[in-house]
Structure 1
Amino acid sequence: MRIPRIYQPQSLALHQLTELDEEAANHVGRVLRMEAGQQLELFNSDGNNYPAIIESSSKKHVSVKITEVHVNDSESPLDIHLGQVISRGDRMEFTIQKSVELGVNKITPLTSERCGVKLNQERFEKKRQQWQKIAIAACEQSGRSIVPEVAPLQSLEQWASETSSAMKLNLHPKAPYSIKTLPTPENGVRLLIGPEGGLSAQEIEVCNQYQFQETILGPRVLRTETAALTAITALQCQFGDLA
């Protein structure tokens, strides 16, 4: 039986007695119905795994004792910052979940001219908190111990204009170069994925202005969520840790 992995945003240490936060305690005590003596594994985004034994468990309160500390080496050597124009429905959630499983280090939701989603700041913040929880759950499932940040909303131009030494990539169906022909990124990758309707001519020009390289994935036009995951997979296969 697989040992459940639980995210705890607090300092953790060997032999420490830890009270799980309310959300985690509800999941362990009420959903999984775990009892005293059973094992689980904690992580807090410091890159370590913390195997633990449940000391006491109820539907609202769970305390555990950390029995070991292990460095988790599941992070890819390739740092990827995904700039994703917000997509409709559950597509954005799907993109966040799967990109975290594939090893993305940071996700910035973006607005653009053809973005089909309109959110005010209050609604977006609620969405961002929900997306961050999805990122945490993806780490619990995939074995990662460093949780990628889902950053505050930015416009495409704001994000594109940020100073960065990373390789900047923008997918384009008529680009002359593929990911296989790119040089090895020395300082990670900033990957821009546009909306379902694609980037406007002005936005493509903005990307060119800020030294984004146009890159092609193949002969077929992919949906925005498919493009993001395909590009991340190709980058990880070429420069990261996917075989």
Structure 2
Amino acid sequence: MPRFHCPVPLAAGAELELPAAAARHVQVLRLQPGGVITLFNGDGGEYSATILRMGRSDVAVRVDSHQTRECEPSRRVHLAVGMPANDRMDWLVEKATELGVASVQPLHTAHSVLRLSGERATKKQAHWQAVATAACEQCGGNRVPTVMPVAELAAWLKTANLADPADAATPLLRCVLSLADGAQPLAAVLASQPAHTPVLFLSGPEGGLSPSEDAAARAAGFVPVTLGPRVLRAETAALAALMLAAQ
């Protein structure tokens, strides 16, 4: 059944016009009145709905029933990543969403090739948010991860909270993926924490974090962790850490 993100209040029996993005998607798929679709708004679960009317640029539906189905990871995992170049950031956001990431923070770092500012950065953030939404619709997730505005690593480290961004009352385990001495195996660090402890990973771009950036992250309270002896691509490392933590 086609699934659409519908970020408005939903309730069984309600009739409403779909937001522009969802309506456009319904029209692209050439769905017709009487067709049944699935809607989710991020508040939990999902709703079945029936298409009532198809206009030139609008789609009206009736919300039929709510299902409590959820398939989110047992712990919230947040990624802060030095943006990889070309279309690899798109791929990272898409796959991280499929794996259940809670939020993505794009960062400029010393080794970053991709540099964004001003209107271009704003447009890229909106594009990555759309990538996350589409991936969530496709993979069956009911909570779209938030893609944060592009930030400079040094400034972001000063604001990287100790609490889960989604729940200020929940302590947050902060880890930096590190190739420097003293890094602990990620699996061991995760095993030492309660099973549902939310995690924030900081991962570098191509070439990793610089020695000074790695040291700054450690000084800010990030635990240095390693994924093993192999050198992974920037996007592979971030996703591997996410997959280990989200199990």
TM-score w.r.t. structure 1 length? 0.91
Cα RMSD for the two superposed structures: 1.5
Report how far residue 47 of structure 1 moved.
1.2
Question: Is the aligned partner of 1:25 residue 2:26?
Answer: no
SS at match of 1:67: strand
Residue 187 (structure 2) aligns with: 180
> Could you tell me which of 173, 192, 208 is aligned with 1:167?
173
Question: Is the aligned partner of 1:89 residue 2:49?
Answer: no
> Which structure 2 residue ranges, 5 or more long, are not aligned?
163-170
Report how far residue 219 of structure 1 moved.
1.7
Question: Is the aligned partner of 1:72 residue 2:69?
Answer: yes
Q: Matched residues in 2 for 1:215 and 1:23: separation?
A: 40
> Could you tell me which of 122, 133, 136 is aligned with 1:125?
122
SS at match of 1:69: strand
TM-score w.r.t. structure 2 length? 0.90
> Which structure 1 residue ranges, 5 or more long, are not aligned?
238-243
SS at match of 1:158: helix
Report how far residue 120 of structure 1 moved.
1.8
Report how far residue 194 of structure 1 moved.
0.3
Q: Is the 8 A contact 1:25 1:59 kept in 2?
A: no
> Could you tell me which of 217, 223, 236 is aligned with 1:207?
217
SS at match of 2:78: strand
Q: Is the 8 A contact 1:193 1:224 kept in 2?
A: yes
Residue 246 (structure 2) aligns with: 236
Residue 220 (structure 1) aligns with: 230
Report how far residue 23 of structure 1 moved.
2.3
Q: Matched residues in 1 for 2:40 and 2:246: separation?
A: 24
Q: Is the 8 A contact 1:170 1:193 kept in 2?
A: yes
Say how many residue pairs are matched.
234
Residue 104 (structure 1) aligns with: 101
Q: In percent, how many aligned pairs have the same letter?
A: 36
Q: Is the 8 A contact 1:45 1:146 kept in 2?
A: yes
More moved, 178-187 vs 103-112: 178-187
Cα displacement string for residues 19-63 of structure 1 (whole angstroms, at most 9, x for unaligned residues)? 11222222212x211111111011111112010011112442211
SS at match of 2:184: coil
Residue 198 (structure 1) aligns with: 208
Q: Matched residues in 2 for 1:102 and 1:158: separation?
A: 28
